[in-house]
Structure 1
Amino acid sequence: MPDLLPLSLYIAALSVTPGPNNVMLTASGVNFGFRRTLPHMLGIGAGCAVQILLVALGLGSLFARLPWLHDALQWVGAAYLVYLAWRVARSGAVERTQSARPLSWLEAAAFQWVNPKAWIMVISTVALFLPAGAAPWSAGLALAAVMMVVNLPCIAVWALFGVSLARFLTDARRRRAFNGAMAALLLATALLGLVDRPAHSADTAVIHRHAN
């Protein structure tokens, strides 16, 4: 069984810090409210939990043996972030933009597989907190359960922040400006993820150490 207190604090620190998920949750809170953003939040936790379980079961060794797979995920992730930025930029007040909708549970869960920050969080969590000699299934399930429990309130802060901002963004021009700023942040995240090669090398090293 992993040490729950340091594990929970570590996951909380990584979950609450800015990243693609939290940018999108803020925008969703502004445009769709907290209740309609809840499936998005639950999907994030579920996606990361499945990642943790699979890495604990040996997925990390696959990245170590096939480093090009990590590169491919970065490019797919960048492309998907561009698509999400386009969706955020098109969002508006729900009553004015009927075609706009928040991310679904499945979309949010699937996004974690191409989200660079999610992989950093998952791989480092397994590398640091998977007990040596522990049964991968039981230890992986424990890590995944803690991820889901701790992650939700941390990311909910960002959705609530968006909800609180909505009252100041009732003007259509302000709402468009806000959505444009959130879209620009997602585009910047996509670009930085591709050019930040030292971070890629560090991630690969963590995967390699865990695999061995």
Structure 2
Amino acid sequence: MEHTPLVALIVYAFVMSITPGPNNVMLMSSGLIFGLGRTWPHLLGIPAGVMVQLWVTGAGLGGVFALEPRLQVVLKVLGSVYLLWLARRLWRAAELEEAEAGRPIGFMQALVFQFVNPKAWLISVTVISTFLSAGEGYALRLCVISLVFVAVGLPCMLVWAAFGAGLRPWLSDRIVARRINRAMATLAALTVLLFWR
């Protein structure tokens, strides 16, 4: 991969990974509720899912989405339902102890979520169509692109999880805890709007 496209890919990966979206909102919520230590499986599952998604898209699934736009609508509906379910759980968690009693999102759940996350599909299709041309060394270049996305994305996602974990000390007051949980729930619900714009 030449220098200029690599720099452009790094910038694109950074912008897509650091900006708000379903994954980052869920990581912030998990950091808040479960702490950074229990959020690591979730945090590692996202880039693993992104890598698999990039490989699948690079193998030709991106073309299927172009030919059958109704599949994108199905993904939007599934992703929206999941985020609204998560928002409902957060809203109902009156206190940190109550929320902590639940289970954090695991590695495989985070990996599989990428396949119903419309933002992740948009990123995958854009990356493959923009940064990967057909020809010799296609598989190797696809692997390099995937690794770049993980190397850039993981620290960006860690920022969101750490920010959520950093809010934990503020949760000793029940009223503050309820307000933060409900603010996170609202943010998770509003993220659904990103799917439909």
Give TM-score scaled by structure 2 length.
0.89
- Select the residue among 12, 24, 27 that pairs with 2:26: 24
Shift in Å at residue 96 of structure 1?
4.2
The 5-angstrom pairing of residues 70-109 of structure 1 reads: 70-91=72-93, 92-93=95-96, 95-97=97-99, 99-109=101-111
> Unpaired runs of 5+ in structure 1?
197-212
TM-score scaled by length of structure 1: 0.83
Q: Distance in 1 between matches of 2:175 and 2:12?
A: 39
Q: Tell me: CA distance 1:90–1:66, structure 2 relative to 1, closer, same or farther (3 Å).
A: same
Which one of 136, 139, 142 corresponds to residue 137 of structure 1?
A: 139
Hey, what's the Cα distance between the residues in 1 that align with 2:83 and 2:14? 23
**Aligned to 1:169, what secondary structure does the other structure show?**
helix
Letter in 1 for 2:132: L
Structure 1's 135 and 88: CA in aligned 2 closer, same or farther, altered over 3 A? Answer: farther
Which stretch shifts more, 129-138 or 23-32? 129-138
Kept in 2: contact 1:77–1:116 (CA 8 A)? yes
Given residue 10 of structure 1, which amino acid in structure 2 is its aligned partner?
Y
Out of 148, 152, 155, the position equivalent to 1:153 is: 155
| Over 3 Å off, 4+ runs | 95-99
Deviations 1:140-182 (A, max 9, x none): 2221111222111011001111121111222122112111111
Give the SS at the match of 1:52.
Answer: helix
Structure 1 counterpart of 2:58: 56
Structure 2: gaps (5+ residues)? none
Written as runs of structure 1 = structure 2, the 5 A alignment for 1:8-47 is 8-47=10-49
Sort the Cα spacing of 1:139 and 1:181 in 2 relative to 1 into closer, same or farther, 3 A.
same
In the aligned structure 1, how far is the partner of 2:146 from the partner of 2:136?
Answer: 15
Counterpart in the other structure of 1:127: 129
For 1:187, the equivalent position in structure 2 comes to 189
Identity over aligned pairs, percent: 42
- Cα RMSD over matched residues? 1.8
* 2:45–2:111 Cα contact (<8 Å) kept: yes
- Distance in structure 2 (CA, Å) of the matches to 1:115 and 1:58: 18
* Superimposed CA distance per residue, residues 64-96 of structure 1 (whole angstroms, 9 cap, x where no aligned partner): 222211111111111111112123334442x44
Q: Does the aligned pair in 1 maintain the 2:33–2:99 contact within 8 Å?
A: no
Give the Cα–Cα distance (whole angstroms) in 2 for the partners of residues 17 and 184 of structure 1: 17
